[in-house]
Each structure stands twice: as structure tokens, then as C-alpha cells.
Amino acid sequence: MPFTKAEFSGRDRLMAKIVLSPTILAATFFIYGFILWTIWLSLTRSTILPSNHFVGLANYYDLFGSSRWWRSLTNLGIFGGLYVLISLSIGLGLAILLDQRIKGERLYQVVFLYPMALSAVVTGVAWRWLLDPGFGLQAIVRSMGFPHFAFAWIDDPDMAIYTVVIAAVWQTTGFMMAIFLAGLRGVSSDIVKAAQIDGASNARIYLRVILPSLAPTFFVALVLSVGLAIKSFGLIIALTGGGPGYSTNVPSIFMYVFSFQRGEMGVGAASALMMLVIMMIFALPFLYLDSRRQA
Amino acid sequence: MRTTSILSPRRWVVYSLLSLAALFFLLPFYVMLVTAFKTMPEIYSTGILALPSSLNWYAWVHAWSAATIGAASSGIHGYFLNSFILVIPAVVISTAIGAFNGYVLTHWRFRGSNVFFYMLLLGTIIPFQIVLLPMAWVEGRLGIAGTLIPGLMLVHVIYGLAFTTLFFRNYYVGIPHDLVKAARVDGAGFFSIFFRIMLPVSTPIIMVTAIWQFTMIWNNFLFGVVFTQGGQQPVTVAINDLVDTVTSVHMWNVDMAAAIFAALPTLLVYLIAGKYFVRGLTAGAVKG
């Protein structure tokens, strides 16, 4: 329990408040204040410079009238959906495999997780090279005796978004594995033993006993991976530059281009707010459940 | 008892799948590494998987000190140094403030401090695009727009505080309050309790927080590309510029060498202190 008033002197109490106050001010101004400020900018005719000329929802009409924005949203849906599905599935699979009293478990973990320590830009550059049709996987398979093998997704406007999925899965699946492994290690061994005594098979124990008790872990992994997908920026810039054309634009790239390259600050602010809204749709249920669990 | 070294079919499948996954994760780095040791003609003739015929250091030297990035042709070494100049003060300051915040939020709570903590958590969730435009304006007003120090450093400190505070708060909440009370009885004050009781047991959480901040700031691209210009840019932005620079022949070997240079600091920290990195990832994950 924290101090009661009687046992803690006024001077120390004041000191505690003084120490925390810069962060309180910073959070109020730089997080909450800036969110409000961005909302305001999205309602003004701000272009290269901010303006206080109120234009109502005009920027939102522009935003949702833009085919580039719709392409960005669709791409986020395709990329985010596949990325979350694949990285969670493989992450869970690897965690279950590593949970089988594996020799060299530590080494496998180090290998699965090291991409997480790399910059997204480095990951993008590496996969740009591996997926280059002239040198990368296509060239390798062709040189192995399949001269008509085609794998040039990175240059194909309809397929390039899937190369982003590959690179993102490579970078962060180990992270999902680590979360699921921590969850698996937290499952009470008593209930597993009880199921074993009842004669349940290994597969059945996983399906019926262990995985259901991992529901909170699934939720954490889901919210985190959705967050990673929405925030993906450097990876896509380095891998495809958002192209060919706008074919791999996502909201983060759209926001950057409109705000800092095209001088359409109002539209950029509106797109930033949409990103926040998408994130909060996934995060709020999580925060709600988390606060109830801690209460 | 005799033990047999022959794996059961089931174990064999498990190890095969794990090894296959390991191969998938290792392949890109292997390809980067061998590419960086080849010449372009060698890459044309032997492909990207073959080991280099000899260790050719040209790409490394060129990437470090001669490659063209933006307007200058002096390689990435200046940008690499920029990242260090940025990351060291940003990590120290954000970690120190986080430690004091965590201490106040657990052992010196006051009315509203818990509410504030939950409000601060929003800072670990938001896509930072939502703060870029006002931040750019404020930095312009302060006359620090485009600068590494203090411009970019300030951004990283401010938006790192939610994470560092969260880490220390969740760690200090596990330290018995009776220890703090006993020190109070002995006449210790706010700071002496922090330095005499909290700090000596904080090594693990300082490691977790510092490694987390180091990795996040070193690897960051968004803040770097928005808030710095030209010679002030961190290495991640320089790598992207280098790869994007259109030349008559794309020097993939140089790109790979530069990318490995940019990856080395965080990779080394991960290999040396990976335990703390993983703890930061999963701690931030479970509580934030």
C-alpha cells in the first residue's frame, strides 16, 4: 500500500509530484494535445503550412474520394489480414513445437527471433534483394532447371502487396512465437497432468485444455500484430517504395506522402486520424478487458 | 539404463519442422552476408546463394566510406555515427525519467497518479502519424527542425517515456512497500530511498528498458525521415536513400554491406543480451 498522509512528509510528497510532473505535462501536450491538434488540422484548409481556416469535413471528402486512399485501405486489409493470420499461426505452431522438450531450444529461439532486432528498413532491403526477379528466388529456381518459373510479384502491381506480407511475417513471427511460448509456459501443469491421467492424447490435450486457456495470449498477440501492421512504414518503403505506382501504398505511406511531400496537410491529418481510429477499434476491447483483469 | 540416440518418428518430424523454420529465418541474412562479400560480376555469374570465391572487402569499404547518399559520396559512416550520437542520450534520458516515474507511480502514489498512468499507456498504442504534424510545427517554432540533436532526440525521448515508465512501474510494483516504509522510519527521504533501495535492485529492469529503447530508436525510420534532413539523418534513413539512389548499375553488394552495418549494433546487443530483449518484448506485450 502507498503511504498514508500521516506517514509521509509534505516535502517528499511534493517532490514526488514534481518528479512526475514533466511527464504529465509532456503526455498531456505531446499525446493528447497533439491528437486534438491533428483533429483540428484535419478540419482546416492546411496545405504546406497549417492554417486555421475551417473547412468542415472537406478533407474527409477529399480523402474518401481518393482512389489512392482506398487502395491504401484495401492494401492494409489484405496485408494486415494475411500477415496477422500467418504470423499468429506459424508463431503458435513454432511455440508448440518448442514446447516439446527440445534439445537446443534456446538456439532455435535465438534464430527465430533475431529478425525482430533488425530495423524494418534492413528487412525491406534484404527481401527486395531476395525477391528481385533477376537475381532472387525466381532466378534461383530457374537456374535449378525450371527456365520458365515465374515469381516476379515485387514488380507486379497486383501481387506486390503479398511480398510485403512475406517480409513482415519473416521479421515478426518469432515475436509471436515468444508470446505464445510465454503463454504455454504459464499454463498450469496440474490441469495438463489431470488430463494425462484421464488418458487424453497429446493432440487432444492441446486442443481441449491448453489452447482454450491461452485465449488472453491470443488476444495480446492479435492486438500487437494488428498494431505492427497498421504502423508498418519503413519495411514497405524499403521493400517496394509503396509501388509499383501506388500498388503497395498503405495508410502510413499515404499519410507521409500527403503531409510531407505533397503539401496537403489537411488530408494528411485526416488520414492520420483514420489510422488512430482503426488502431483503437482493435485496442479498446483489449484495454477494457485488461483493466478488468487487473481490477 | 541405456538411452538410444535414434529419434522416434514423431520427434523426427518436430525437429525437421523446427530446422526448416530456422532455415527460413537464417536464409535472408546468409544471402545478405555472401552478397556483401562478392563483386557484382561474381553475383551475375554465380547467383546469390553461392559462397563467395574469396572474401572481397570492396563492398564493405565502399558502403562505409564512399557510397553516394543524397548529395554526398562519403558512405554511411557519418550516418552510422549520427545514430550513436542520437541513441545514447535518448536512451539515458528516457530510461532515467522512466525509472523515477515508475518509482513515484508505485511507492509515492497521489490522487490521480493511477489515472495518469492509464492515460500514459495510450502513448504505447497510438500510431505516431497522429502526432507528426504538430510535432513538426513545434520543432520549427523552437528552431530545432531538421536537427539530430536536440530535434530528433527530443522526439524519441518524449515518445519513449510511455514505454520506459510502463517497464519501471511494472517492476517496482513488485518491490515490497515495507522496505520503503522502514527506510522512512530511519529518516530517509524521496531521493535517498530511490538511490539506496530501488536502484540497487533495478539492474534487470534497467537492462530491459535500455535495450528496448536502444533497439527501438536505432531501428526507427519514421521519426528520422520526418524530423531530420541531409547530413543529420540517422543510419536507417541513409540506408533507404542509398538503396533508392539510381545508378547505372545497381550495386547490390554495397547495399547489403551497408544494411549489415546498420543492423550490427542491435544484432550484437541481441546476441549478447537477448534474454533482456525478449523480456522487454513480452513484458511490453502482456501489460501494454
Q: What is the pLDDT of residues A148-183, one digit of tens each?
A: 888 989 989 999 999 999 999 999 999 999 999 999
The full set of domains in chain B, from first to last, is 9-56 (no CATH), 77-287 (1.10.3720.10)
Contact A135 B252 (CB under 8 A): yes
Q: What percent of chain B has pLDDT over 70?
A: 95
A34 against A197, higher pLDDT:
A34
Q: Count CB-CB contacts under 10 A for residue A203.
A: 8
Q: Give the pLDDT confidence score for residue B274 in this predicted structure.
A: 86
Count the Cβ atoms, other than its own, within 10 Å of residue B71. Answer: 7
User: Does A119 reach chain B within 8 Å, measured CB to CB?
Assistant: yes
The answer to whether residue A295 scores a pLDDT higher than 60 is no
pTM for the model stands at 0.93
> Burial letters for B263-281: b for 16+ Cβ neighbours within 10 Å, e otherwise?
bebbbebbeebbebbbbbb
DSSP-derived 3-state class of residue B47: coil
Q: Does A8 score more than 60 pLDDT? A: no
How far A34 CA lies from chain B's nearest CA (Å)? 5
List the single residue in A17, A119, A283 with the smallest CB-CB distance to B221: A119
Crossing angle of the two packed helices B153-172 and B203-219, in degrees rounded to 10: 150
pLDDT at residue B211 is higher than 50: yes
Domains and CATH numbers, chain A: 1-42 (no CATH), 61-294 (1.10.3720.10)
The CA R_g of chain A, rounded to the nearest whole Å, is 24
For residue A10, what pLDDT is reported? 80
Interface confidence, given as ipTM, is 0.92
Q: Which residues of B touch A122 (CB under 8 A)?
A: 219, 236, 239, 259-260, 262-263
What would the mean pLDDT of A221-243 be, rounded to a whole number? 94
Residues of A within 8 A of B218 (CB-CB) are 119
CB contact (8 A) between residue A112 and residue B22: yes
Q: What's the mean pLDDT when you consider all of chain B?
A: 91
Share the mean pLDDT of chain A: 91
Rounded to an integer, the average pLDDT of A67-95 is 97
Q: What confidence tier does B288 reach under pLDDT thresholds 50, 70, 90? A: very low
Please state which of the ranges A115-124, A162-171, A189-198, B260-269 shows the lowest mean pLDDT: A189-198
Q: What is the pLDDT of residue B285?
A: 52
Beta bridge partner(s), residue B228: B146
- pLDDT at A143 (0 to 100): 84
pLDDT per position as a tens digit, A22-49: 999 999 999 999 999 999 999 999 888 8
The lowest-confidence range among A193-207, A263-277, B16-30, B254-268 is A193-207
Q: Can you tell me the distance from the alpha carbon of A265 to that of A288, in angstroms, rounded to the nearest whole number?
A: 33
CB contact under 8 A, A37 and B43: no
Picking from B122, B262, B271, the nearest residue to A119 by CB comes out as B262
CB atoms within 10 A of CB A39: 15
Q: What is the pLDDT of residues A98-138, one digit of tens each?
A: 998 888 999 999 999 999 999 999 999 999 999 998 888 88
Among B104, B118, B219, whose Cβ lies nearest the Cβ of A16? Answer: B104
CB-CB neighbors (< 8 A) of B18 in chain A: 94, 97-98, 102, 108
pLDDT on residue B27: 95
Q: What is the pLDDT of residue B5?
A: 60
Q: Is a pLDDT exceeding 60 seen at residue B84? A: yes
Predicted local distance difference test score (pLDDT) of residue B69? 86
The reply to whether residue A119 touches residue B219, judged by beta carbons under 8 angstroms, is yes
- What is the residue whose three cell numbers read 517480409? A167
Closest CA to B221 of B128, B133, B135: B128
Q: Does the beta-carbon distance from B130 to A38 stay under 8 Å? A: yes
- pLDDT band at residue A56, thresholds of 50, 70 and 90? confident
User: Could you read off the pLDDT of A134-149 as tens digits, one per residue?
Assistant: 888 888 888 888 888 8
Task: Convert the pLDDT of each residue in B6-33 to its tens digit.
Answer: 678 888 999 999 999 999 999 999 999 9
| Cβ proximity of A210 and A184 under 8 Å | yes
Question: Is the pLDDT reported for residue B262 higher than 80?
Answer: yes
**Residue B1: what pLDDT?**
44
Q: Say how far residue B278 (Cα) sits from the centre of its chain.
A: 12
**Residue B270 in contact with residue A117, Cβ under 8 Å?**
yes
If you write DSSP's letter for every residue of chain A in order, what string do you get?
Answer: -PPPGGGS-HHHHHHHHHHHHHHHHHIIIIIIIHHHHHHHHHTBT-SSS----B-TTHHHHHHHT-HHHHHHHHHHHHHHHHHHHHHHHHHHHHHHHHTTT-TTHHHHHHHHHGGGGS-HHHHHHHHHHHT-TTTSHHHHHHHTT-TT----GGG-TTTHHHHHHHHHHHHHHHHHHHHHHHHHHHS-HHHHHHHHHTT--HHHIIIIIIHHHTHHHHHHHHHHHHHHHHH--HHHHHHTTT-STTTT--HHHHHHIIIIIS--HHHHHHHHHHHHHHHHHHHHHHHHHHHHHH-
Please count the other Cβ atoms lying within 10 Å of the Cβ belonging to residue A6.
Answer: 6
Give yes or no for B271 touching A (CB within 8 A): yes
Model confidence at B117: pLDDT above 50:
yes
Q: Is the pLDDT of residue B217 over 70?
A: yes
Quick check: helix, strand or coil at residue B245?
coil
Instruction: Tell me which of B104 and A192 has the higher pLDDT.
Output: B104
Mean pLDDT of B72-77: 89
Q: Report residue A3's pLDDT band, with 50, 70 and 90 as the boundaries.
A: low
CB-CB contact of B95 with A248 (8 Å): no
Residue B59 has pLDDT above 70, yes or no: yes
Q: What is the pLDDT of residue B284?
A: 59
Give the residue from B221, B99, B229 showing the smallest Cα distance to B171.
B99
B18 and A97 in contact by Cβ < 8 A?
yes
Average pLDDT over residues B43-67: 90
Do residues A238 and A168 touch, judged by C-beta distance below 8 A?
no
Q: How far apart are CA A225 and CA B114, in angstroms?
A: 27
Instruction: Read off the pLDDT band of B157 (50, 70, 90).
Output: very high
